[in-house]
Structure 1
Amino acid sequence: MLILVVGALLCFFYICNTSDLTIPMLYLLLSILASTSLVFIFKLFQRYNVHTFQAIVMNYLTCVLVGFLFSGGSNAVQPAVLEQSWVLYALVLGTIFIGTFYLIALTTHSVGVTAASVATKISLVIPVLFSLLVLKNSLKDYTFVNYTGMFAALVAIVLSSIRPRNHEGEGSTSPILAFLLPFIIFLNSGVADSLINYTNQYHLQQKEASQFTMLTFSASAMVGLLVLLYLLLSGKTTFYRKSILAGILLGIPNYFSIYFLIKALSAFGNDGAFLYPVNNIGIILAGALGAVIFFNEKLTKVNLIGLGMAVLALILISYQEIVANLF
């Protein structure tokens, strides 16, 4: 399994780098690395008994701080930013982010790294269809093969999420929950990516990427702080200091996962129908490889079929670009 994943990753990056797209490919690679690290960090939270929700709130505060520093500490805090046409989209996106992020953590803990990674990234079906049917900015004509890949993506979610039952009845996740969690992540992630694509095309200038990212995370932080404050005041939870360090560890790659995604979209002409499949195949493969190497995650034959189906789906969706680069 490791040989197959490593080989696929090497082939993937070789194909991508055969074209003269040095800067766009750099953004793409950085997006893949930042996004893949997130599910691994969630797995570490489980290992070290980190309070997940508190860490997620601290993570978004970290994102705001990183955005402030990365933007030079001036542009992001100017009142004029709130007058931009993309402000409402940033606020909505921030609310979606924190809810989805918590679901990803739950899925990573109860179902596994691979299922969470596949559900998050196979959600490209939604922004691809949105790019084709609403934005109508794809650089290619979609064929039956492409749409077959989208159907295969849905099958991949189901197969990669199935977990064997614990015969002793301990530590097992119900089959319904094991499917429902990844499916909700699939929907939320797809809507979020579509919203990013729409905002980037109609409202956002490339120089505003850092400001948009920071305001999005500010909205997530505000929602999280309000919920956390309620839990603390009602006595339903106690704050743990290690949540601060865990939030910092999570927040830095989380900020750059969105920042580099926006930069990659701009570098590839905002063609989400092409970028999302290429980006997500790298994340799924890297996630599966890391889950096996670092966390000794056991994948059943059905899970491996689901992983293979996910890769196949992404290849079918973007086969025109792969063929063009090979020949």
Structure 2
Amino acid sequence: MTIQKNDDASAPVLSVVIPCYNEGENVPLLFGRLMPALHGLGVTVEVICVNDGSSDDTLARLLAVQKSEPSLRIVDLSRNFGKEKALSAGLFHSRGQAVVPMDADLQHPPEVIGEMLAKWREGWDVVFARRDARTGQGMKERAFARAFYWVFDHLSDVRLPREVGDFRLMDRRVIDTINEMPERSRFMKGIFAWVGFNHTEIIYHQGERAAGTSKFSSIKLLRFAFDGLTSFSNFPLRVWGVIGAVISSLAFFYILFRIIRTLVWGIDVPGYESILVSVLFLGGMQLLTLGIIGDYLGRVFDEVKGRPLFIVRRLYEHDGRE
């Protein structure tokens, strides 16, 4: 994938990128709040909605909105590639001098985009939008999020800003840098943090989901968290060398103990239970180690194949171009 920097003087000042997967109910609600907020900014804007293989009427509703909103561009992917790839597609097609990714469910209030734009005009390359609370989440989800941030910060060289999701403003230089990154395992929160640049933040109140339900189950969230960790840390690989050394040391001292005991008290019959426990424990550790190595090896396999991050079936422009 060849990335070309956007030097077009006619490019919009602001691009808003919105991945959409089965968000048909939210489309009219979203644009009912988004467009008035953008029109009040006094700058040229474009809205890029990425239809990530939706099976409902998301695309039809987006096309209906496009008839009255010339700034809306629709990137229709050939299938469901997942939110991280859909977000990458939106960033790739963005042309604005500043870019704001946001969700389609209105948990990210479009009214705060103006505040982020003001910070950007002060010279900041990245403006984080930090939520003041996790609205609509129970104690289990909040505890899981805190645990993930703690583990990620201690095992990775990249620190994720607390309570900051994809909702942020990024300068064109930041977007061009992200688009040039060739990796296919796209943990976007980590990528956003890894590229650096000078940054500041604003505080916002996260709204309730406007309609529909979250597409992330507990299993998907757990897998997403593990993907994020293995994308930015090789600690899960290195730690097994330490564990192996500890187990080998314990086994060595146990062998010495058995030899000394045999020389002093003679040969006895070892217990069957201790042998069984040792075999099962070491076998389980080996299988767990192989599983983690297999996950990293699978990532290498995906990178070597070099398949594109996403496939665009059609790009809908307001002037009829595709």
TM-score, reference length from structure 1: 0.28
The structure whose Rg is larger is 2
Larger helix percent: 1
**Higher strand content, 1 or 2:** 2
Q: Normalization by structure 2: what TM-score?
A: 0.28
